[in-house]
Structure 1
């Protein structure tokens, strides 16, 4: 049995490395009967497109940012809320424990089977000029994921939210659509945002 899993990130991203580890474990534990083919680097398009392929049966699995599931699985809004966790350990206990399992199970009515949560590190704002305080974000055109929660967070900070996919940030910055973006460090480096933003 060959299964395909898609991820928008490149092969060096922690989530893709985790998918490759999962593929190896599946192969070993099934004595080679189950092969998980990892399709990285956006081979199936942005996360939104990968989810559409998953629903149509063109993919067997995909790893996406949790905000991509907010509409079909409303409980997935919870892990994206700002200042929810006191520490990395608190977040890991919650997401690996019953709260996380409940959120994953809540995706079933949306047609998904949630397997796990991945953590690629804290999200930070990076911009064309220094951001040292909340005041520095006011008025900035801030790229956010396509999520009502992230749009509300940006507005609460005084920024102008600009929803776009992670793979559109470089083009968006070059066209003047965004002054800043938010993401984790592996994504910042993996999508070469560090070449445009400090």
Structure 2
């Protein structure tokens, strides 16, 4: 009898071990293929053309990774201005965002090389320089711990104003908006005895509405998307600078993905 009981105990022990191993394998499998959500903040309005492209890209990523990777976008500055977004990325509340080079100027001054006033005259010049400089900029952002997916050209920025600007003299006494953190343009305007007003993009429309600023320098298509065109009446014909934007995602978030999924995310976002 004792021997029979010992046999039964041994069989039960084997069954228990097999069950535990099976559960462990299931747990490992579920962990390996767990769904990962990448949270990205942007100032782009939800109904903008770029937003539609980003949603289409997110859908493609979900389908190709069998929903292991999901991109969640926060539109229209819902997560605050760029400085707040960078802070939230640092503490892990967000994983990425869309930015202008000036947003990184304190940490990576070279990033704003394309924003130097009157540096370019034609798009052919822009294309020539970008073919050589873009890879260097991407390497610089990588050293900061960010993956970028190419730089989206916003076109030339022009002076948009409430009153006509026919000459340099018309700028004097006017309150001119500058992106917060754009130290190069700020010093240049001070040297020219102008009145620069640094503001984050999220505050510019309010600044135009309240009279805090009179003049903005921005590509017309961006002014339309952000509704700034409703508060200005005039535009100069001389391009001031070349504007660009980009998406950056923290490398820590991407390293959590499987190599195959990481490649898919990079491929799709680079194409947008």
- After TM superposition, the score normalised by the length of structure 1 is 0.86
Q: Secondary structure at the match of 1:113?
A: strand
Q: Pairwise CA RMSD of aligned residues?
A: 2.2
Number of the residue aligned with 1:115:
149
Give the secondary-structure state (helix, strand or coil) at the position aligned to 2:148: coil
State how 1:7-86 maps to structure 2 within 5 Å.
7-86=42-121
Query: Structure 1 residues 87 and 118 mapped into 2: Cα distance closer, same or farther (>3 Å)?
Result: same
Q: Indicate how the Cα distance of structure 1 residues 78 and 145 shifts in structure 2: closer, same or farther if over 3 A, else same.
A: same
Q: CA deviation at 1:166?
A: 1.8
Task: Tell me whether 1:136 sits opposite 2:170 in the alignment.
Answer: yes
Residues in 1 aligned to 2:224 and 2:81: alpha-carbon distance in whole angstroms: 17
What is the aligned residue count? Answer: 197
1:165 counterpart = 2:200: yes
Which has the larger share of strand?
Answer: 2
Q: Runs of at least 4 residues of structure 1 off by over 6 A?
A: none
Kept in 2, the 8 Å contact 1:139–1:159? The answer is yes
Offset of residue 79 of structure 1: 1.7
TM-score by length of 2: 0.65
Alpha-carbon separation, structure 2, partners of 1:47 and 1:76:
15
Question: Any conservation in 2 of the 1:144–1:181 contact (CA below 8 Å)?
Answer: yes
Q: Are the equivalent residues in 2 in contact too, given 1:140–1:159 (CA < 8 A)?
A: yes
Note the C-alpha offset of 1:78. Answer: 0.9
- Structure 1, residues 147-187: CA drift from partner, whole Å, max 9, x if none? 10221343355421000012212322333321111212233
Please identify which structure carries the higher helix content. 2
Query: RCO higher in 1 or 2 (8 Å CA, sep ≥ 6)?
Result: 2
Q: Which has the larger radius of gyration?
A: 2
Q: Distance in 2 between matches of 1:149 and 1:110?
A: 21
Unaligned runs of 5+ in 2: 1-35, 234-272
Q: What are structure 1's unaligned runs of at least 5 residues?
A: none
